[in-house]
Amino acid sequence: MKKITGAYAFIEALRCEGVKHVFGYPGGAVLDIFDAILDAPDIQFILARHEQGAVHAADGYARASGKVGVALVTSGPGATNTVTGLATACMDSIPIVVFSGQVSTNLIGNDAFQEADTVGITRPCTKHNYLVKDCAELPRVIKEAFYIAGTGRPGPVLVDIPKDVMRGLIGFKYPEKVCLEGYCPTYKGHQGQIRRILGTILKSRNPVIYAGGGVVLSNASEELTALARDLHLPVTTTLMGLGAFPADDPLWLGMLGMHGTYAANMAVTETDCLIAIGARFDDRVTGKVDEFAPRAKIIHIDIDPTSISKNVRVDLPVVGDCKGVLSDMLNEMRDKQHEIAELHHGIQPWLERIDQWKREQPLRYEPGPGLKPQYVIERICALTPDDAIITTEVGQNQMWTAQYYKFNHPRLFLTSGGLGTMGYGFPAAIGAQVAFPGRTVIDIAGDGSIQMNIQELATAVQYKLPVKVMIINNCFLGMVRQWQSLFYKGRYSHTSMCVSPDFVKLAEAYGAHGLRVENASDVDGTIRQALAIQGPVFVDFRVVPEEDVYPMVPAGAPINNMLLV
């Protein structure tokens, strides 16, 4: 068997995994791999301008495509710069594999140049990580890394590769399968438990489906929609679950939680049967845990057994893949048409009550002078294609997008939910655009958060990626200012962004296009102009500075205790 270096074995392993795109940044410890990449024209390397941006781009690529995203960085600071991206992916269960260079094995622990304990640093924010000390182990480790990242509850995996491992010689043979002792995700739900769950739903009178990002990750949107429509069950989702159920369906309640809709929060509070699917009951959803769905029998379907009853007591759990469990439920329903008809009749008053909540307290904002950010989001939604991919940064721009942009399909909304990472949206949009070069990709940003990874505009320009960045510019760190306004007596401590770049000139300096909007009458025309431009565009929307996001549940309050407009 012909022997090749570890660097070329790395390239062959990526080919075996079907990898077509790698995001990253070079450095001394990974020069051997970067040299080998020149001989791999079938794998496109996208040069980010910061390692955090590279990992977010791999993350956005994974969320949009459903494939495992890949990033490659050097040792030391290159590896430590990936931590925020890894933690972002870990909190949101996103399958990525990050490869980092490392000093030679004989130098590990000697404080060598650009050495860091990458495995130790990243252990808390990865699903698993590896330090490869033997070149012969490299194919097996890469195979396992992709398997772990993409199976069960997905998540990020880091593989740390010392320089001498890249230079070692091996006879390359890629494993056909993976067998890891102690790691065997449960995909098939317990059939008896599924029947009990269905029986509980059919006996309920105020049922609600609460779906999370797990529905999107397991590609179970079609099954969720069929279940809800067949049983006439109202549906709410988490921030991560937006798009799992069509926003134009009459059964849609909107997002629930801290900035959820009135109808969604009231329905979850009053329900007698809460069907949680691929969701983890995080604090932004539950509010005061003791008063969350207090009258409900709680059903929880999740592939991760550690999520069951972690934050909220669960009456009927099923451990399994959302898509498989929902399919089994749909199959069980085929011979229960009489019970389903009775359910439809019995929950009619409940659906009428929900419709009343929707009419009484819809999402709304007060008209007034100046450009309203909610209006900008509404017009972006109205003027973009139905398959446009929308990313966001974090803060008010994120919440307004979740509220006012209507997502009818999964994998169209990419945002940092669990970690709340400012600077996520723009590189994630770049990753999504690489995955889908023919689609419209828009990052809805704030003037603060866009500056966190604004250097990635050079990446978009270099690779001719026509990402559109819609900046909701209110000259504040808006969400922090809102909390200061409501709970800190209006003492705006260091949240003013009065000194910011001219985003139009900045875009032009990078070789991109820049546009500015100050009046509502110019919004539609400018959005159309931005979408028509072939390259990347920054649009600076100068909105009302002190507009707040409503509804809002104060921290620690029950979710039916909402501040309204």
Span 303-355, pLDDT tens digits: 999 999 999 999 999 999 999 999 999 999 999 999 999 999 999 999 999 99
Q: Which helix (H) or strand (E) holds 25?
A: none
Select which of 44, 114, 193, 529 is catalytic.
114
Q: How far apart are CA 299 and CA 314, in angstroms?
A: 6
Provide the pLDDT confidence category of residue 515 given band limits of 50, 70 and 90.
Answer: very high
- Region 165-175: what's the mean pLDDT? 97
Q: What is the DSSP letter of 64?
A: H
The per-residue pLDDT for 253 is: 98
Say whether both 390 and 468 belong to one domain: yes
**Tokens representing 317?**
């759990």
Contacts for 554 with CB less than 8 Å, ≥ 6 apart = 486, 487, 561, 563
Strands 413-414 and 441-446, by their bridges, are: unpaired
What is the residue whose two structure tokens read 């929308």?
Answer: 390
Q: How far apart are CA 3 and CA 188, in angstroms?
A: 42
Say whether both 251 and 213 belong to one domain: yes
**Tokens representing 233?**
């069950």
The per-residue pLDDT for 203 is: 97
Q: Flag whether pLDDT at 194 surpasses 90.
A: yes
**Tokens representing 399?**
């919440």
Say whether both 198 and 347 belong to one domain: yes
Q: Flag whether pLDDT at 241 surpasses 90.
A: yes
Provide the pLDDT confidence category of residue 457 given band limits of 50, 70 and 90.
Answer: very high
Provide the pLDDT confidence category of residue 498 given band limits of 50, 70 and 90.
Answer: confident
How close are the terminal C-alpha atoms of the chain, in Å? 71
Give the count of alpha carbons within 13 A of 255, CB side only. Answer: 30
Provide the pLDDT confidence category of residue 367 given band limits of 50, 70 and 90.
Answer: confident
Q: Which helix (H) or strand (E) holds 150?
A: helix 138-150
Residue-wise pLDDT tens digits, 390-417: 999 999 999 999 999 999 999 999 999 9
Tell me whether residue 347 is in a domain.
Answer: yes
The per-residue pLDDT for 15 is: 98
Say whether both 331 and 413 belong to one domain: no
Say whether both 385 and 530 belong to one domain: yes
Q: Which helix (H) or strand (E) holds 69?
A: strand 69-73
Q: Flag whether pLDDT at 147 surpasses 80.
A: yes
Q: Which helix (H) or strand (E) holds 71?
A: strand 69-73
Q: Flag whether pLDDT at 1 surpasses 80.
A: no
Tell me whether residue 447 is in a domain.
Answer: yes
**Is 51 among the catalytic positions?**
yes
Type of residue numbered 294? P
Say whether both 155 and 201 belong to one domain: no
Strands 3-5 and 169-171, by their bridges, are: antiparallel
Tell me whether residue 102 is in a domain.
Answer: yes
CB 291 within 8 A of CB 277: no
Residue-wise pLDDT tens digits, 17-66: 999 999 999 999 999 999 999 999 999 999 999 999 999 999 999 999 99
The per-residue pLDDT for 259 is: 98
- Which CATH number goes with the domain that contains 163? 3.40.50.970
- Region 537-564: what's the mean pLDDT? 97
Overall number of domains in the chain: 3
| Dmax (CA) of the chain | 75
**Tokens representing 253?**
């309640």
The per-residue pLDDT for 542 is: 98
Provide the pLDDT confidence category of residue 361 given band limits of 50, 70 and 90.
Answer: very high
Contacts for 289 with CB less than 8 Å, ≥ 6 apart = 311, 312
384: left (phi over 0), alpha (psi -120 to 50) or beta: beta
What is the residue whose two structure tokens read 């494939």?
Answer: 67
The sign of the dihedral angle between the CA atoms of 457, 413, 277, 96 is negative
Say whether both 66 and 125 belong to one domain: yes
Say whether both 221 and 102 belong to one domain: no
Residue-wise pLDDT tens digits, 95-118: 999 999 999 999 999 999 999 999
User: Mutual orientation of helices 523-532 and 373-383 as an angle, nearest 10°?
Assistant: 50
Say whether both 302 and 158 belong to one domain: no
**Is 166 among the catalytic positions?**
no
Select which of 163, 323, 358, 372 is catalytic.
163
The per-residue pLDDT for 325 is: 98
**Tokens representing 431?**
């990753």
3-class SS shares of the chain: helix, strand, coil, % to 5 = 45, 15, 40
Q: Which candidate, 81, 135, 73, 129, places its Cα nearest to that of 105?
A: 135
Select which of 113, 188, 337, 360 is catalytic.
113
Tell me whether residue 285 is in a domain.
Answer: yes
Say whether both 388 and 251 belong to one domain: no
Peptide bond into 437 cis (omega under 30): no
Query: Could you give the angle at the alpha carbon of 62 between the alpha carbons of 455 and 75, nearest 5°?
Result: 55
Select which of 266, 333, 452, 479 is catalytic.
479
Segments forming the whole domain that contains residue 11: 3-171
CB 372 within 8 A of CB 521: no
Tell me whether residue 207 is in a domain.
Answer: yes
**Is 222 among the catalytic positions?**
no
Q: Which candidate, 346, 306, 334, places its Cα nearest to that of 195?
A: 334
Provide the pLDDT confidence category of residue 140 given band limits of 50, 70 and 90.
Answer: very high
- Give CA 89 to chain center in angstroms: 8
**Tokens representing 149?**
């990242």
Tell me whether residue 562 is in a domain.
Answer: no
Q: Residue 205 to residues 15, 67, 274, 295: CA-CA distances in angstroms?
A: 53, 40, 11, 12
The per-residue pLDDT for 91 is: 98
The string over 145-167, giving b where at least 16 C-beta atoms fall within 10 Å of a residue's C-beta and e elsewhere, is bbbbbbbbbbbbbbbbbbbbbbe
- Region 492-521: what's the mean pLDDT? 96
Provide the pLDDT confidence category of residue 2 given band limits of 50, 70 and 90.
Answer: confident
Provide the pLDDT confidence category of residue 383 given band limits of 50, 70 and 90.
Answer: very high
**Is 163 among the catalytic positions?**
yes
- Which CATH number goes with the domain that contains 266? 3.40.50.1220
Q: Which candidate, 220, 209, 216, 141, places its Cα nearest to that of 178?
A: 141
Q: Which candidate, 101, 183, 113, places its Cα nearest to that of 147?
A: 183
Say whether both 349 and 472 belong to one domain: no
Type of residue numbered 227? L
Select which of 51, 115, 144, 223 is catalytic.
51
Contacts for 468 with CB less than 8 Å, ≥ 6 apart = 440, 441, 442, 443, 530, 531, 536, 537, 539
Q: What percent of the chain has pLDDT over 90?
A: 98
What is the residue whose two structure tokens read 């890891």?
Answer: 180
Tell me whether residue 500 is in a domain.
Answer: yes
**What is the number of other CB atoms lying within 10 angstroms of the CB of residue 554?**
15
Q: What percent of the chain has pLDDT over 70?
A: 100
**Is 374 among the catalytic positions?**
no
The sign of the dihedral angle between the CA atoms of 183, 302, 398, 529 is positive
Tell me whether residue 184 is in a domain.
Answer: no
Say whether both 327 and 291 belong to one domain: yes
